[in-house]
């Protein structure tokens, strides 16, 4: 039993060492990208904010927030479904312009893994991850 415990202790120590190395690597990458470091805690806070879904629709919301809001109402949908949902709350944009904008932002959010998508034919059906 002591062999198993010492093996686990060794594994936990190795994990701590790797965590330190990962933190140092992240700091170095950030310095070269932005000129200032971001701590892991700040990085985790940003990731948590990414998936905050607005409770209400507001014109001042970002397009990301508007898309998340619409998808929270319809659960999943194609770009046209998202457009239709958003038009219920704001009719100031034309359907065509809104379609292009939602297509662009939904694709970006999919790449950032905020949204997931299932391919149906040649279209994506988006959902919140």
> Which of the two residues, 105 and 15, has the higher pLDDT score?
105
11 token code pair? 């594994």
pLDDT (tens digit per residue) in 40-76: 555 555 544 556 888 889 888 899 999 999 999 999 9
Query: Within this chain, do residues 85 and 60 fall inside the same structural domain, yes or no?
Result: yes
Query: Within this chain, do residues 60 and 105 fall inside the same structural domain, yes or no?
Result: yes
CA dist., res. 5 & res. 21, Å (int):
24
Q: Which pLDDT score, from 0 to 100, does residue 108 have?
A: 93
Q: Helix, strand or coil for residue 58? A: coil
Residues 6+ apart with CB under 8 A from 93: 86, 87, 101
CA dist., res. 73 & res. 85, Å (int):
8
Query: Within this chain, do residues 120 and 68 fall inside the same structural domain, yes or no?
Result: yes
CA dist., res. 35 & res. 15, Å (int):
28
For all residues of the chain together, what is the average pLDDT? Answer: 83
Give the domain extent around 111. Answer: 53-128
Query: Within this chain, do residues 86 and 43 fall inside the same structural domain, yes or no?
Result: no
CA dist., res. 114 & res. 51, Å (int):
7
Q: How many CB atoms lie within 10 A of CB 59?
A: 8
- As a whole number, mean pLDDT of residues 30-42 equals 59
């Amino acid at each position: 039993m002591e062999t198993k415990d010492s093996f686990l202790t060794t594994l936990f120590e190795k994990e701590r060492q790797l965590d330190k190395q990962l933190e140092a690597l992240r700091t170095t990458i950030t310095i070269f990208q932005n000129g200032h470091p971001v701590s892991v805690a700040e990085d985790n806070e940003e990731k948590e904010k990414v998936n905050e879904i607005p409770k209400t629709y507001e014109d001042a919301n970002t397009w990301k927030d508007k898309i998340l809001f619409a998808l929270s109402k319809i659960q999943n949908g194609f770009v046209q479904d998202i457009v239709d949902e958003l038009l219920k709350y704001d009719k100031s944009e034309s359907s065509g312009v809104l379609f292009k904008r939602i297509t662009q932002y939904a694709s970006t959010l999919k790449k950032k893994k905020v949204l997931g998508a299932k391919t149906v034919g040649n279209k994506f059906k988006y959902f919140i991850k």
